[in-house]
Chain A
Amino acid sequence: MSSSSVKTTLRYLFSILIVCVFIFPIAWFALTSIKPISAVFNKDRVVVFDFEPTFENYQVTVFGGKRSDTAAGQNMGMGTSGTGAYDGRSSIASSLIIAISSTILATAISLLAAYALSRLRFRGSQGFMHWILSQRFLPPIAIIIPLVFIFRDLGLRDTHLGIIIAHTLINIPLALLILKSFFDDVPIEVDQAAMIDGATRFQCFYLVVLPMIKGGVAATAVLCFIFSWTEFLLSLFLTSSIRTIPVKITTFVTSTGSEWGYISALGTAAIIPGFIFILLVQNHLVRGLTMGAVKE
């Protein structure tokens, strides 16, 4: 073997090893979700593969099934609350409603603003961009306390609409900056040609430019969805009965112990939509993560 093919082999091995290290926590979590209680809480050794797979954790957390007697019987000092506390169905529904609505809202209104910032020349546009950027850097904790009071007064506390607004708020800077970078990619001559043909600004936006950046809009929407789906702090402060999945999962940790089977089942289920989506937007991911600053 020549030295260059040794190098190539080493590069493959090393790359695979590193990727495995980064996949391991997810794989371990997913594996835990199909382990019976006795395998998860084995105090003598770490059980890796030698167990009877069970889907009971999913039946309880994702499908609202009853906790079986065997599991309850083997309850090894873990939380003793009823099965209902581990039913994640309403959390999944809430998370879906909130993520989808805030994605649509944030993308739609950011599209309008991004088009104007990309196409219209007006005083203060630079200042406006800076304001948007500072919103992205704002620590959510700085607005959350007054937001709790404002929401209480408006009757938005602990409602879906309330968190939808909060998530829209954190998604706007991201969506606006990414969408502006996509609009900037379309030459301004396209607009000029359309307007010479008699289109108004809005027709030009809606009928001509928007269809040209469809892919970019889809990527933006996917990123907004992921941000809302994974958001924790705002949901934690603004709700008490409506719980998004990340907040719901943390309630499975009780003072008497953690229900790792249920945590890993609901957690694994919560990761799946993100995986599908992120693989769909690989091409625009860097632009999304850098808010349009890096175009790949």
Chain B
Amino acid sequence: MSERRVWLPRWLTSEHPLPWLFPVTSLLIVFGLYPVLFSLWLSFFKRNPATRKEKFLPSWNWEKMISDERVWDAVQVTLTYAFIALFIQLVLGLLIALLLDTDRKGFGVLRALMTLPLVVPPAVTGMMFLLMYDSSFGVISNSLYSLGLLSPNTPILGTASTALWGVIVADVWQWTPFMVLIMLAGLRALPKEPYEAASIDGASAIQSFFYLTLPMMSKIIALAVLIRGIDLFRIFDYVKVMTDSGPGTATETLTAYAGTIYFKSANFPYASTIALATLIVVLVTSSLFIKIFKVKF
């Protein structure tokens, strides 16, 4: 055995990381890193919509993006969407986790049922809610009509002021279980002693939640916020399926705007510029977040 190995240079043996990492690395470079650089290169060209010719003008698209009102609207929609959805999911996730965190009979089944929304394809989730929102036979719309909370003249997704909320509800439905699961794992890992000490000292349940549970859970909450926050910032599926950015551009997020430019005007350089800007924001924010909150993977 060992004599045969003499014929191979060391970096080709299994002692060296290269053969182990080669398949993953090559795939990620060719189809992950190269496209990002390609995107950057594309963003340096100005596309003439009439002649379909592209001209090298490095700052054109980037300047256009900064002064594009629609980009700033999309930023606002994206941030509103991400923050509202994240906040609701976090609070609901924590509350439901506290409720389900018990060894009593039957709660295991409830916890398992709670995970089911996670495996529904987001495009199908969009459809489910489209069906329930339908202004003539949708079960949610009709319930809201009979409660007097909604008028048939202002369909949920067809009205600028409610459309974003309609999409957020779908997101909250699908991803609150994610928060519940992570919070449950966090609650399970908590030590028991501090709670015993606190109850001897006469602390109420609410006090021990705010002074013990929350601080001890801060690491896991930070992790959940990071993962979910990034997924929310690059939201695409629900918006595309449910409203296609409409009505008007009321629900147009950054990624949806990039998609619209791609599909409708075929201005690839400009679509790439916006997509790249999203990427830069995501990477900078996430690395800062990881540094500040010391998240470990």
Contacts and interface: CB of A to CB of B under 8 A. Distances in A.
Contacts of B184: 286
B139 A28 contact: yes
A32 B131 contact: yes
B202 interface: no
Interface string B38-60: 11001000000000000000000
B111 to A, nearest CB: 8
A49 interface: no
A293 B223 contact: yes
A25 B132 contact: yes
Interface stretch (B25-33, B68-76, B156-164): B25-33
Given A29-B131, A149-B38, A141 B255 contact: yes
A142 B116 contact: no
For A122, A165, A274, A294, the residue with the greatest tally of chain B CB atoms inside 10 Å of its CB is A294
Contacts of A122: 16-17
Interface in A93-136: 109-110, 112-113, 115-117, 120, 122, 125, 128-129, 131-135
A41 B137 CA distance: 6
Given A109-B24, A142-B276, A267 B128 contact: yes
Contact of A230 (B121, B127, B223): B121
A113 B21 contact: yes
A150 B106 contact: no
Interface residues on A, range: 35 or more
B84 interface: no
Nearest to A116: B20
Nearest to A120: B17
A162 to B, nearest CB: 10
B65 interface: no
Interface stretch (A6-14, A56-64, A65-73, A207-215): A6-14
Interface in A23-60: 23, 25-26, 28-29, 32, 40-43, 45-46
A56 to B, nearest CB: 18
Contact of B20 (A113, A145, A253): A113
A116 B279 contact: no
Interface string A254-296: 0000101001100100110011011100100110011111101
A200 B128 contact: no
A230 B241 CA distance: 14
B38 A146 contact: yes
Nearest to A25: B128
B177 interface: yes
B286 to A, nearest CB: 5
Contacts of B283: 134, 137-138
A109 B139 contact: no
A112 to B, nearest CB: 5
A115 B237 contact: no
Contacts of B16: 120, 122
A239 to B, nearest CB: 14
Contact of A150 (B31, B127, B278): B31
Interface in B169-214: 173, 176-178, 181-182, 184-186, 188-189
Interface string B81-122: 000000000000000100110101011001011111111111
A36 B63 CA distance: 55
Contact of A201 (B14, B181, B220): B14
Given A139-B255, A201-B14, A145 B272 contact: yes
Contacts of B220: 294
A181 B41 CA distance: 37
A1 interface: no
Contacts of A271: 119-121, 124
Given A166-B31, A290-B182, A140 B127 contact: no
Interface of A: 8, 11-12, 14-16, 18-19, 22-23, 25-26, 28-29, 32, 40-43, 45-46, 109-110, 112-113, 115-117, 120, 122, 125, 128-129, 131-135, 137-147, 149-150, 165-166, 168-169, 172, 176-177, 198, 200-202, 205, 226, 229-233, 236-237, 245-247, 249-250, 253, 258, 260, 263-264, 267, 270-271, 274-275, 277-279, 282, 285-286, 289-294, 296
Given A149-B38, A169-B31, A249-B124, 15 more contacts: A12-B104, A45-B142, A46-B139, A112-B20, A112-B21, A120-B20, A141-B259, A142-B36, A146-B34, A165-B27, A200-B1, A232-B123, A253-B130, A267-B128, A278-B118
7 contacts: A129-B297, A139-B278, A143-B32, A143-B36, A145-B275, A150-B38, A290-B182
